[in-house]
Amino acid sequence: MIYELLKLAHIIGAILIGGGLIGVWIHDMRSRQTSELVRFSESVRNIALFYDAVVVPGAIILLISGSWLIAVFYDGWSFIRTPWLAGMVLLFIFEFIEGNTVTRIYFVRLNRLAEKALQTGNFTPELRRTRAQNIPTFTHFLDLPILLLIVMLGVLKPDNWLLLIYGTIFAIVIAAALMLLVTRLYPHYEQNYNTDR
């Protein structure tokens, strides 16, 4: 019974993270499509809300349930000899650290700068520079492909490292392609912000 409850908690955590990241994705795209400061600020505020209220709780549930499952049902540290499980743990640790450092700090800063810009009524140069940063944009676009790879490893349970290796390469390529495509689709997000009338 404990195994089933932990598995359920693990699935709920994955659903929360996935739903939260999709919400972040949608609001990020909305913020890139608008040149109106109020709409931009609202979208950025929603990004922070999805991270704090959905993604982070999901990650905590996933961390607790996953650690418990590994400790009790997968012989603790011996999980490193199981490619699919070790791959899931490795990718989750990477996502947890990256998501709570580079990506989250970037969106928190963007939210703070957007609130500050609202007070002046104009997009500030600092806000434009921050919005145009490539590394946080890349890591943001990497979140969903890596989550999909984690789910694939858990569902397919491969007995070798090939899915992890090729899947990681594919996720990086997809994230880089999205970054280049989106910044070209919406080049005005960096250059042509206007104030609301």
Q: Average pLDDT for residues 108-131, to the nearest whole number?
A: 90
> Is residue 61 situated within a structural domain?
yes
> Is residue 154 situated within a structural domain?
yes
* Residue-level pLDDT at 95: 93
Q: How many domains does the chain have?
A: 1
> Is residue 31 situated within a structural domain?
yes
- Whose tokens are 């491969």? That residue is 158
With a pLDDT cut of 90, the percent of the chain lying above it is 67
C-beta separation of 160 from 83 below 8 A? yes
Residue 121 reports pLDDT greater than 60: yes
What single-letter amino acid sits at 85?
A: L
> Is residue 197 situated within a structural domain?
no
- Whose tokens are 């390469």? That residue is 169
- Whose tokens are 């392609």? That residue is 177
* Residue-level pLDDT at 193: 44
Q: pLDDT tens digit string along 173-185?
A: 999 999 999 888 8
CA distance 188 to 36: 11
> Is residue 196 situated within a structural domain?
no
Residue 28 reports pLDDT greater than 80: yes
State the pLDDT confidence band at 85, using cuts at 50, 70 and 90: very high
> Is residue 120 situated within a structural domain?
yes
88 lies in which domain range?
Answer: 2-191
Q: Average pLDDT for residues 21-47, to the nearest whole number?
A: 92
Predicted model pTM: 0.88
Q: Which two tokens stand for residue 6?
A: 């932990």
Q: Average pLDDT for residues 82-101, to the nearest whole number?
A: 94
> Is residue 135 situated within a structural domain?
yes
Residue 188 reports pLDDT greater than 70: no
Q: pLDDT tens digit string along 104-117?
A: 889 889 999 999 99
